[in-house]
């Protein structure tokens, strides 16, 4: 039985991830931690969790806890994941893996040295919607893959409009960067999954609107090890009516278009014309990845598809685009 302890129990754990840890066979949640006493007590009581802590290290050292889910903002991922691995407890870490490529390397070194599993919450690798896109690519529906393009454009969130209400996702000391780190990480990790490692990267990052101190516009170009070229444009402070969430895969015999966050129908265009495809998501969107991790830890399944190795690559790509790595 895998008995999880959660470090951090914010919004992501309410539906996206938290319930899945108990829906999966051979898994339970026995403790949670949050620095706010009232909030952690409320969370534990609402979810019938017996133990709650205000200190992460007390949870890590709880002998009943044998695996740790780190769902804090990225700025503390490395600290808590490394502490858990050093006492032999597997970790499942929210994405992005850490607040910098350098911190990812530190986590990876501990995972390699200790042999303790370290998985990262890039759950799109397990969702039927994205597996369908991969199947279309792998089966040759659009021929040889030549290029992939990402377009992601949204206006500012209401909380971005005042310095007093800025969310942690645009505070570098907490998030590592801005919304690019939070959202583009899913896209770039997924492309690593279907086209292989990204080996060449360039990019530019700007703060156009001046609403906060980190980037709000990013342009990137890259090359996958399979020879697929990539281009991306991310804009997080567009005008109010501008909204685009699209990835387009261009092949020698057609194209595939789909979204990352809105799960719009997949559009396959080839010699047969347009084909529209849809797929259902699980109620708790991280369910399939969590299930694969629990099965593996219980000795009943294959090694999961998202770990520290692939996630470290994603942070490297993002830091290269942002100019954090020369």
Closest CA to 77 of 62, 63, 56, 59: 56
What is the pTM for the complete model shown?
0.97
Closest CA to 318 of 106, 113, 150: 150
pLDDT tens across the length of the chain (326 residues) = 999 999 999 999 999 999 999 999 999 999 999 999 899 999 999 999 999 999 999 999 999 999 999 999 999 999 999 999 999 999 999 999 999 999 999 999 999 999 999 999 999 999 999 999 999 999 999 999 999 999 999 999 999 999 999 999 999 999 999 999 999 999 999 999 999 999 999 999 999 999 999 999 999 999 999 999 999 999 999 999 999 999 999 999 999 999 999 999 999 999 999 999 999 999 999 999 999 999 999 999 999 999 999 999 999 999 999 999 97
Report pLDDT for 185.
98
Query: Which single residue is written with the structure tokens 């914010």?
Result: 10
User: Are the C-beta atoms of residues 309 and 119 closer than 8 Å to each other?
Assistant: no
Q: What is the DSSP letter of 307?
A: B
Q: Going along 140-214, which residue ranges are E strands?
A: 145-153, 198-206
Q: What is the DSSP letter of 231?
A: E
Q: Which long-range contacts (CB under 8 A, 24 or more apart) does 201-206 make?
A: 201/316, 201/317, 201/320, 201/321, 202/320, 202/321, 203/320, 203/321, 203/322, 203/323, 204/321, 204/323, 205/180, 205/321, 205/322, 205/323
Report pLDDT for 326.
77
Domains and CATH numbers, the chain: 2-123+285-312 (3.40.50.720), 128-280 (3.30.360.10)
What are the φ/ψ torsions at residue 29 (nearest 5 degrees)? -115, 120
Report pLDDT for 19.
98
Report pLDDT for 79.
98
Q: How far apart are CA 238 and CA 211, in angstroms?
A: 12
What are the φ/ψ torsions at residue 94 (nearest 5 degrees)? -60, 160
């Amino acid at each position: 039985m895998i008995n999880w302890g959660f470090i951090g129990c914010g919004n992501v754990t309410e539906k996206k991830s938290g319930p899945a840890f108990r829906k999966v066979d051979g898994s339970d949640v026995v403790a949670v931690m949050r620095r706010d006493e009232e909030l952690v007590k409320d969370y534990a009581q609402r979810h019938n969790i017996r133990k709650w802590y205000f200190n992460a290290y007390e949870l890590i050292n709880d002998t009943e806890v044998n695996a740790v889910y780190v769902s804090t903002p990225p700025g503390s991922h490395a600290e808590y994941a490394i502490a858990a691995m050093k006492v032999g407890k597997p970790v499942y870490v929210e994405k992005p893996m850490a607040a910098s490529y350098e911190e990812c390397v530190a986590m990876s070194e501990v995972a390699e040295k200790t042999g303790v599993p370290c998985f990262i919450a890039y759950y799109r690798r397990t969702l039927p919607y994205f597996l369908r896109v991969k199947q279309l690519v792998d089966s040759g529906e659009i021929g040889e893959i030549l290029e992939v393009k990402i377009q992601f454009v949204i206006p500012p969130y209401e909380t971005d409009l005042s310095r007093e209400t800025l969310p942690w996702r645009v505070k570098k000391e907490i998030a590592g960067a801005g919304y690019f780190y939070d959202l583009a990480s899913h896209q770039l990790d997924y492309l690593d999954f279907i086209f292989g490692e990204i080996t060449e990267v360039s990019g530019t990052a700007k703060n156009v609107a001046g609403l906060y101190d980190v980037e709000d516009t990013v342009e990137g170009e890259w090359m996958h090890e399979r020879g697929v070229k990539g281009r991306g444009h991310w804009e997080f402070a567009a005008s109010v009516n501008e909204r685009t969430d699209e990835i387009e895969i261009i092949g020698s015999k057609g194209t595939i278009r789909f979204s990352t966050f809105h799960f719009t129908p997949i559009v396959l265009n080839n010699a047969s014309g347009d084909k529209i495809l849809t797929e259902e998501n699980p109620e708790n969107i991280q369910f399939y990845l969590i299930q694969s991790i629990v099965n593996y830890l219980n000795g009943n399944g294959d090694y999961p598809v998202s770990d520290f190795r692939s996630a470290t690559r994603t942070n490297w790509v993002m830091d290269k685009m942002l100019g954090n790595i020369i």
